[in-house]
Amino acid sequence: MPVYNLKVNGQSLSVEADEDTPLLWVLRDHFDLVGTKFGCGIGQCGACTVHADGVATRSCLLKVSVATEMKITTIEGLSKDISHPVQQAWKEIDVPQCGYCQAGQIMTAAAFLEQNPNPNREEIRDAMSGNICRCASYNRIEKAVEQAASKIS
Amino acid sequence: MKSITTPSVSRRSFIRTSALAGGGILIGFNLFQACKPEVAPPVDIADLNFNDFNAFIKIADNGKVTIFSPNPEIGQGVKTSMPMLIAEELDVDWGNVLVAQGALDTKNFTRQVAGGSQSLRHGWEPLRQTGATARQMLINAAASKWGVDPTTCKTKNGVISNGNGETLGYGDVVKEAASLKVPENVKLKDPKDFTIIGKDINNVDIDKIISGKPLYGMDYKEDGMAYVSVLRPPAFGKKLNDFDATEAKAVNGVIDVFKFGDKIAVLAENTWAAMKGKKIVKAKWMNDSELENTKDHDKVLLDLLNGNDFNTMRADGDVKKAFATADKVLERVYESPFLPHNCMEPMNFFAHVTAENVKLVGPIQTPAGTARRVAELLDRKPEEVSVDMTRMGGGFGRRLYGDFALEAAEISNISKKPVKVVYSREDDMSAGIYRPAIKYKISAAIKDGKLIGYHLKEAAINSNMYGLIPNFFPAGAVENYQVDVAKYDSNITIGAWRAPYTNFLAFAEQSFFDELAEVMEVDNIQLRLDLLQNVKGNNDERIQYSPERLEQVIKTAVEKSEWGMKPEGVYQGFSSYYCHNTHVAEVADVVLENDQPVVKKITCVVDCGIVVNPLGAKNQIEGGVIDGIGHAMYGDFSFKNGEPQDTNFNTYRLIRMNETPIVETHFIENQIAPTGLGEPTLPPAGAAIANAIKAAKGVRLTKQPFVKNMKNETLLG
């Protein structure tokens, strides 16, 4: 099996894996970075969202062989001490119910606010609509993104 | 009528204490039932044994409190709210409380189940008693140290004070407290003195969730563990004939492929290899029983509704006579599809079967029952089976069924390896156990402008409504009232799905009442209130709801939603319902955008008694309402030749943020013992929006999902 060198959360990590292995499973099974979640495997639910060169990306669709060229950030690397404004807002609003989808929601929100630090409500609702929350904590996600935006801008 | 009181606790919670070797006191107690008096808690925290006690409080000599919370957490917040009850009566600062998930006690613990929104309701009394008893023990220890009367001592935030101005921290007296006799009949706080209950408390796992720490079954791993993907029959009614795994075994990382029952297990070094291997197993299936179709179910259920073969669940007066003498009759049929649960965390479970014991780890709503079934399956002694519960990425009823844990146990038993079975989304949506498709026919007999007869008929796949439901509203309000049920036996597996039966029945009935008001030419809300008047003073013990509490949520919803006062272009829909011991009213505000109805806001009024944790409670309410809307609007699941037609989110539609209204929550404030919130706000949501859509478009929806049936009505493009 080929060996791939990856840049994850500022660290250089290498893995022996088939070239078609999605980054998701490399993170979870090989690197023990289990914060990135498996939800659907086809890029529909957003639970596996990571940043690839700063862009919110579905890690279930990103092959490890392609990811070698990118700087990958996972929920574990978003901040060292839960200090990212999006994480802070998530805590203040007490967003999660079961919590399973929330890492993906946070990663989507963080990348979105990098691009658009002053979003209006409709922009937030559109930007977050790719991430499913089965517990339907959507009202709080919306509020938390608004709150994070107000702190960033 | 049943009076609404605190659920009775047959015996005082049983408590034992011991001094910990490392310092501090350990208080072992059993919830909801007493236990054998001879057992003693351990002196070393590493020996914590949930076979003796199902819950523990540790108070360290620095005053820090750790509560080992016993109930499984599926996102309903009990891991936070149940320890709040203990901490309240223990009188400690919440900031000094740590909460850890308790493991399973298979011998002594009955209600270690998350389901039916009952955790808080059952824990309300015994959890507070445990906290209060522990507090009294600490006071007694301090009083004896000071040589004062314990009744002169007070506590605040983990500090005991006496009348002479002296103080001692809980940690200072834990050693002495451990040797004292456990006090009995300790008085509980007056609710007006609560300092933790009723306050907004953050989810205790919040930091771990938002930083991606391992919490869920999916995140659990052990050295040498194989990841397992299971190939199951592709359709209900098919079984395994033969298979060829030569290619699957050649996949990098695949360890083994073998058959168990009618399924094939693919074991691998990582999840991807297991999933990849599973896809290329060449399996031949053969027909075993009928291959069923939704089209046929629709016909069969309608035939049942129109037939005469029913079981009567409740009959008051003479419905037949009422309909014969009526001068107007309204009759409507309401139809719902099967629904998968679709927990965001797909089903998974870890098992390691060895000669000595069976270790199970994973997300499960029924750990005790699952341990028992695994013991039976593997012919092991019950005490050899342990279950460690992980946080659950959603449950919604699906994790009441331990089928996935049994699969893991069987595979580990065959392979002699620690294994973790992991479902793909496709596996999760097609492996079975769904909300059954159900149809209702509701008929009302009207005479001289009065409702004199009400007849509810249910036709369901495999299983009918549970026995309490026929005693929900409008039971007791209509003189001639009957509930009849019938079912069709199918090979498609069904089970509980968030608010079983009521999740659709509430839509049917609350839509029906609006239409009934139109036919009777009365106000839709006044009709409900008038019916409730008939129930007041009714001493029928079977009736589950309180007419007074239902009346209050209805009136409050009218006020808070500005019912009938909205500007032109805002269409409102009303719905009220009682289930899971909680009374709820909801008003939907709908507007038309490009002539399409869009739900903008839901005003939700809830009477769940004392609100233990408003922050968590509102989250449950908002989620329940939006979940109810999402599934009423979009949830569609059908079968063709026994095969589910949707297996992933590319075709199966769940509600997303851009389709979500704002939910505004109001609580009825009272001092009644709390009831649960995981389910009760979901059922009324569907009718609230259907009634609003009727107001907006003049079209009455009787089938779910609305989006499909609105298309048929040319309401949606």
pTM of the model: 0.93
Phi, psi at residue A10, to the nearest 5°? Answer: 80, 0
- Give the model confidence (pLDDT) of B498-528 as tens digits: 999 999 999 999 999 999 999 999 999 999 9
Domain boundary among the residues B422, B453, B480 is at B422
CATH number, position A120 = 1.10.150.120
* B532/B499 same-domain check: yes
- Give the model confidence (pLDDT) of A109-122 as tens digits: 999 999 999 999 99
Asked if residue B704 is part of any domain, the answer here is yes
* B508/B365 same-domain check: no
| Count of domains for chain B | 3
Nearest to A102 among B210, B273, B275 (CB): B210
Instruction: Report chain B residues whose CB lies below 8 A from the CB of A37.
Output: 216, 218, 344-345, 393
* B186/B238 same-domain check: no
Distance, in Å, from the CA atom of B347 to the CA atom of A33, rounded to the nearest integer, reads 20
Task: Write out the H or E segment, with its range, that includes residue B10.
Answer: none
DSSP letters along B233-293, please? Answer: -SSTTEEEEEEE-HHHHTSTTEEEEEEETTEEEEEESSHHHHHHHHHT-EEEEEE-S----
Asked if residue B307 is part of any domain, the answer here is no
* B631/B561 same-domain check: yes
Instruction: Report chain B residues whose CB lies below 8 A from the CB of A33.
Output: 212
Distance, in Å, from the CA atom of B16 to the CA atom of B183, rounded to the nearest integer, reads 11
* A92/A132 same-domain check: yes
Q: Where are the alpha helices (DSSP H) in chain A?
A: 23-25, 64-67, 75-78, 85-93, 102-115, 121-127, 138-152
Closest alpha carbon within chain B to A74? B212
List of residues 6+ apart from B424 with CB closer than 8 A: A41, B229, B275, B346
pLDDT value at residue B70: 58
Asked if residue B330 is part of any domain, the answer here is no
pLDDT value at residue B34: 42
Asked if residue B320 is part of any domain, the answer here is no
In angstroms, how far is CA B152 from the centroid of its own chain?
Answer: 44
**Residue B647's closest CA among B425, B436, B437, B494?**
B425
Closest alpha carbon within chain A to B649? A44
CATH number, position B234 = 3.30.365.10
* B625/B704 same-domain check: yes
Q: Is B630 on the interface with A (CB under 8 A)?
A: yes
Facing residues of B362 across strands?
B389
- Give the model confidence (pLDDT) of B185-202 as tens digits: 899 999 999 999 999 999
| Count of domains for chain A | 2
pLDDT value at residue B69: 65
Distance, in Å, from the CA atom of B481 to the CA atom of B123, rounded to the nearest integer, reads 35
Domain boundary among the residues A28, A51, A77 is at A77
* B150/B269 same-domain check: no
Chosen from B74, B201, B209 to mutate, greatest number of chain A CBs within 10 A: B209
* B545/B448 same-domain check: yes
End-to-end C-alpha distance for chain B, whole angstroms: 49
Mean predicted confidence (pLDDT) in A40-67: 98
* Higher per-residue pLDDT: B650 or B115: B650
Mean predicted confidence (pLDDT) in B554-577: 97
pLDDT band at residue B3 under the 50/70/90 scheme: very low
* B169/B222 same-domain check: no
Domain boundary among the residues B164, B190, B209 is at B209
CB contact at 8 A, A60 and A24: yes
Q: Is the dihedral of CA B289, B294, B296, B300 positive or negative?
A: positive
pLDDT value at residue B102: 59
Closest alpha carbon within chain B to A107? B210
* Structural domain that includes position B354: 217-288+347-422
Q: Is A68 on the interface with B (CB under 8 A)?
A: no
* A9/A73 same-domain check: yes
pLDDT at B420 over 90: yes
CATH number, position A61 = 3.10.20.30
* B182/B227 same-domain check: no
Mean predicted confidence (pLDDT) in B436-460: 98
* Structural domain that includes position A17: 3-77
Instruction: Report chain B residues whose CB lies below 8 A from the CB of A75.
Output: 210-212
Domain boundary among the residues A55, A77, A99 is at A77
Distance, in Å, from the CA atom of B560 to the CA atom of B601, rounded to the nearest integer, reads 12
In angstroms, how far is CA B716 from the centroid of its own chain?
Answer: 33
* Average pLDDT, rounded, for chain B: 91
pLDDT at B1 over 90: no
Domain boundary among the residues A12, A42, A77 is at A77
Facing residues of B619 across strands?
none
pLDDT at B36 over 80: no
pLDDT band at residue B411 under the 50/70/90 scheme: very high
Q: Is A120 on the interface with B (CB under 8 A)?
A: no
**Residue B178's closest CA among B12, B50, B13, B22?**
B22
Asked if B215's CB is within 8 angstroms of A98's CB, the reply is no
* A50/A110 same-domain check: no
- Alpha carbon of A38: minimum distance to chain B alpha carbons (Å): 7
Nearest to A82 among B207, B214, B273 (CB): B207
* B373/B417 same-domain check: yes
* B406/B468 same-domain check: no
pLDDT value at residue B106: 42
pLDDT band at residue B123 under the 50/70/90 scheme: confident
